[in-house]
Amino acid sequence: MTSPRPTAAVLLIGDELLSGRTRDINLQQIAQYLEPLGIPVMECRTVPDIQEEIVAAVNALRAKYTYVFTTGGIGPTHDDITADAIAAAFGVGISEHPDALREMAARYAAMNTEFTAPRRRMARVPDGASLVANPVSGAPGFQTGNVFTLAGVPQIARAMLEDIGPRLQTGAVVHKVTVKGKGLREGDLAIRLGEIDAAAPAVSVGSYPWYLGPDNNGVSLVARSVDAAALEAVRLQLVALSESLGIKPEIEA
């Protein structure tokens, strides 16, 4: 089923992210997974392991966007409070899911590892939630309404997306082209670039400079649109703009 523009938000949960001890890559991989489905990520927030903060963010985002993806806080330790916070946000109880409990018990038995009370905590999901499969470590994520709750470990979060994808309402796919000019300077192209952007309302045009040293710097001009013909017209204008400044650009789809 195709919708003109389903949207998504990502909520990153964890004190370790805000302290800088852990570098997040979940936003990147969620956005990259959703882009071919025509579901742009429109907002990202990061909150600490404080239930009131998680509840407030979840409720704000789920009311604003088609889908919300949370990562982090569903492990076995005392500070893993995301499941409880999601239940509170939806005003429901929380309990061990029988399917999750059965699958996890079997997995730990197969590993000859004790299925302790802390590990059982990972089978707790908000009442009425559906499970999201975790092929990496077994402990599931879950879906509550339009909110998908994933693990914080990037490898596990990425694996969970495969079970979520078929549940999503897709939108018009956004096509992208990059005109990369080594030696380009934003100050030289700003006026003309603004004119190109204003004349093509169906296309989003952005300018992204890079600097890796005196001999390796420039600007990437990135255009995005669901309209392939409009995008091609803008691509030609961006190439012409770069060439007018004496720089032959590289083109990346």
Among 116, 136, 170, give the residue marking a domain's end.
170
Whether 1 shows a pLDDT value over 90: the answer reads no
Q: Which residue, 76, 81, 85, 54, is CA-closest to 139?
A: 76
Whether 5 shows a pLDDT value over 90: the answer reads no
Among 131, 155, 170, give the residue marking a domain's end.
170
Percent of the chain whose pLDDT exceeds 70: 98
> Are 203 and 153 found together in one domain?
no
| Tokens encoding 177 | 């082209």
> Are 164 and 205 found together in one domain?
no
Taking only the tens place, the pLDDT of each residue in 23-76 is 999 999 999 999 989 999 999 999 999 999 999 999 999 999 999 999 999 999
Q: What is the pLDDT of residue 2?
A: 45
Among 123, 150, 170, give the residue marking a domain's end.
170
For residue 60, the enclosing domain spans: 2-170
> Are 116 and 203 found together in one domain?
no
The CATH number linked to 226 is: 3.30.70.260
Q: What is the pLDDT of residue 253?
A: 72
Q: What is the reported pTM?
A: 0.86
Domain count for the chain, please give it: 2
DSSP output for 212-245: SSTTSEEEEEEEEES-HHHHHHHHHHHHHHHHHT
CB distance 58 to 68 below 8 Å: yes
> Are 196 and 147 found together in one domain?
no
CB distance 151 to 82 below 8 Å: no
Taking only the tens place, the pLDDT of each residue in 92-150 is 999 999 999 999 999 999 999 999 999 999 999 999 999 999 999 889 999 999 999 99
Under the banding of pLDDT at 50, 70 and 90, the label for residue 4 is low
> Are 133 and 224 found together in one domain?
no
CB distance 161 to 167 below 8 Å: no
Percent of the chain whose pLDDT exceeds 90: 91
